[in-house]
Amino acid sequence: MKLAIYPGTFDPVTYGHLDILQRAGRLFDEVLVAVAANKSKEPLFSVEERLTLLEPHLKAIPNAKVARLEGLTVDFAKKCGAVALIRGLRAVSDFEYEFQMAQMNRHLDDSIETIFLMPSHKFFYTSSHMVKQVCLVDSSRLTQFVPPNVLKALKKKFAKK
């Protein structure tokens, strides 16, 4: 059984993330969405909230599960028995960062491959950061970028600020 890890912050999860997850689900027997704390990004949602926001969308991808990512991604992948890490590439601007990360992960454990997947063209410029910025001004324009449960959670978060 081939297991892949799809690591990320997912703050919040977008349709672009879910598109990559669906693609990975067709390639691997199982895909584990690993949600990282990543305090350096100053997430809007806690890890628990992000896990909760992701869970309903896994019903459409029966071979996908979600978990909290602890420690280094390659160590987590090894512990889970994964053979690959899934990374999404939206635009050329993502490539340099993703390439460096893939090389570091290969250096740390060359038994884990990094697989780059591109989302549908509809999501090339969608990012969690941009979604949060748009939400601050006009949340009604986000319906094409995030699922309804995520939009509701974003509105609630920003209403508190």
Cα distance between residue 143 and residue 127, in whole Å:
14
23, 57, 87, 90: the active-site residue: 90
17, 23, 57, 132: the active-site residue: 17
The C-alpha angle with vertex 74 and arms to 68 and 76, in degrees rounded to 5, equals 35
Q: Is 65 a known active-site residue?
A: no
2, 41, 129, 141: the active-site residue: 41
Q: Which two tokens stand for residue 28?
A: 């691997």
Q: Is 17 a known active-site residue?
A: yes
**Which residue's entry shows tokens 């060359």?**
110
23, 57, 87, 128: the active-site residue: 128
Cα distance between residue 104 and residue 69, in whole Å:
18
CB atoms within 10 A of CB 97: 11
Q: What's the chain's length in residues? A: 161
Q: Which two tokens stand for residue 21?
A: 């997850």
Q: Is 129 a known active-site residue?
A: no
- Bridge partners of 84? 4, 113
Q: Is 106 a known active-site residue?
A: no
Name the residues annotated as catalytic: 17, 41, 90, 128
